[in-house]
Amino acid sequence: MDLRPRLTLAMIIYIARRLTQGVVVLLAVSLICFIIFRYAGDPVVTLAGRYATLQEREMVRKAFGLDRPFYIQYTRFIANAAQGNFGKSFVSRVPAFGLIIERFPATVELATSAIFISFVLGVGLGVLVSLKPYALRNRFIMAGSLFNISMPTFLTGILLIMVFAVYLKVLPPFGRGETVTIGFWRTGFLTWSGITHLILPAFTLGMYQLAVLLRLTRAGMREVLTEEYIKTAWAKGLPPMKVIFKHALRNALIPVVTMTGLQFGELIAFSIITETIFQWPGMGNLLLTSIYESDQPVIVTYIMLAALIILSLNIIVDILYAYLNPKIRYD
């Protein structure tokens, strides 16, 4: 039987269905955002200023189309949102979308570094533990993972600051350091100061799913290592590295990767927390500042953008999973 991945009709229908579902969810999120935006506090007062006369308010209402029926306003909101236009920040009076996009690179750099750290450490330790589950060293690693699960991210961050920035004074406690701008992308990867500023936040953010990755890898490896084809590989006299990493780990990693892809909301949530502790100039930090200042256009833009990213990633993971696994049913 030919089990190579193929683009069949069932597959295309599946993809179309997942995309439609994604759009429906996105519309639902936008509707909720719109209702909150429109009805939590009167936008006319916010736009015209607290001391505007009744006539001035009426003018603003007309000018911004706030006197039109609900569905027309909502359609306009969607049309604008599709073009990345979410209105201006109440505080800084510049387009909210621009404010967030400007901080996008900082968040992406922090998040990718964190994922890298947690994958290398989590998967590495998971493999190590799975090979000799009852060795003393590995029992210590498992006990450590319990501690890791029980330590909230914000506490990890503060303790790291206490140890490495306040007492040892080897790493900076906050900020992003010097950055270099390439095109529209401001990067901290290229300067020494940028890298030293990245270490503590990246470790903090990487810790939140370290234990989960470790446990998933360990469970997957222990299952895969008992399979016949692994015994065959050992029997053939393949080098241990090849058996462990090429034959076993590749198969044990599928649930690990799926889990990471499907729980992307967690990464975004924990980046908000990490950015706040380290005053990292990213999107999450901006979100919290906007929450304190009740800057609704920025909050709404953030939510829409986060929803778009999470949903796209989910759909990509689902499709890849279905594509790579011939056994899956498209339901």
Partner 1 sequence: MTKRFFKSEILHNFFHDPSALVGSFLLVVSILAAIFAPLIAPQNPYDLEKVSLEHFLKPPIWMEGGEGPFLLGTDDQGRGILSTILYGCRTSMTVGFGVVLIAGTFGVTMGLLAGYYGGLLDSLTMRLADTFFSFSTTLMAILMLGLFKERGVLVVIIAICIADWVRYARTMRGSVLEVKEEVYIMAAKATGSGDFRLLLRHLLPNAIPPIFVVIAVDLAVVIMLEATLSFLGVGVPLTEPSLGMMISIGKDYVYAGMWWLVVFPGAALVLLVVGINLFADWLREELNPKIQR
Kindly indicate which of the ranges 7-15, 47-55, 231-239, 295-303 contains the residues binding partner 1, using the contact rule CB under 8 A.
295-303
Q: How far from 91 is each of 61, 95, 112, CA to CA, in Å?
A: 20, 11, 30
Q: Is 322 in the site for partner 1 (CB under 8 A)?
A: no
Among 122, 173, 188, 281, binds partner 1 (CB under 8 A): 173
Q: Is 21 in the site for partner 1 (CB under 8 A)?
A: yes
Kindly indicate which of the ranges 61-69, 222-230, 245-253, 272-280 contains the residues binding partner 1, using the contact rule CB under 8 A.
272-280
CB of 164 to partner 1, least distance (A): 12
- 304 CB-side CA count, 13 A: 27
CB 275 within 8 A of CB 114: no
- 167 CB-side CA count, 13 A: 7
Of 44 and 299, which has the nearer Cβ to partner 1? 299
CB of 162 to partner 1, least distance (A): 5
Of 40 and 180, which has the nearer Cβ to partner 1? 40
Among 107, 113, 130, 153, binds partner 1 (CB under 8 A): 153
Q: Is 160 in the site for partner 1 (CB under 8 A)?
A: no
CB of 34 to partner 1, least distance (A): 12
Among 111, 230, 244, 273, binds partner 1 (CB under 8 A): 273
Of 202 and 306, which has the nearer Cβ to partner 1? 306
Of 217 and 296, which has the nearer Cβ to partner 1? 296
Exposed e or buried b for every residue in 35-74, given b needs 16+ CB within 10 A? Answer: eebbeeeebbeebbeeeeeeeebeebbeebeeeeeeeebb
* 129 Cβ contact list (under 8 Å, min separation 6): 138, 141, 142, 214, 218
CB of 26 to partner 1, least distance (A): 10
CB of 91 to partner 1, least distance (A): 15
Among 111, 114, 272, 322, binds partner 1 (CB under 8 A): 272
Q: Is 171 in the site for partner 1 (CB under 8 A)?
A: no
d(CA 89, CA 98): 10
Backbone φ, ψ for residue 268 (5° rounding): -65, -45
CB of 278 to partner 1, least distance (A): 11
Q: Is 184 in the site for partner 1 (CB under 8 A)?
A: no
Give the 3-state secondary structure of residue 204.
helix
* 134 Cβ contact list (under 8 Å, min separation 6): none
Q: Is 263 in the site for partner 1 (CB under 8 A)?
A: yes
Hey, what amino acid is at 68? R
CA geometry: angle 190, 191, 194, nearest 5 deg? 105
CB 264 within 8 A of CB 310: yes
Residues 32-61 touching partner 1, rule: CB under 8 A, are 36, 40
Q: How far is CA 287 from the centre of its chain?
A: 14
The contact set with partner 1 (CB under 8 A) reads 21, 25, 36, 40, 146-147, 149-155, 158-159, 161-162, 166, 173, 262-266, 268-270, 272-273, 276-277, 287-288, 291-292, 294, 296, 299, 303, 306-307, 310-311, 314
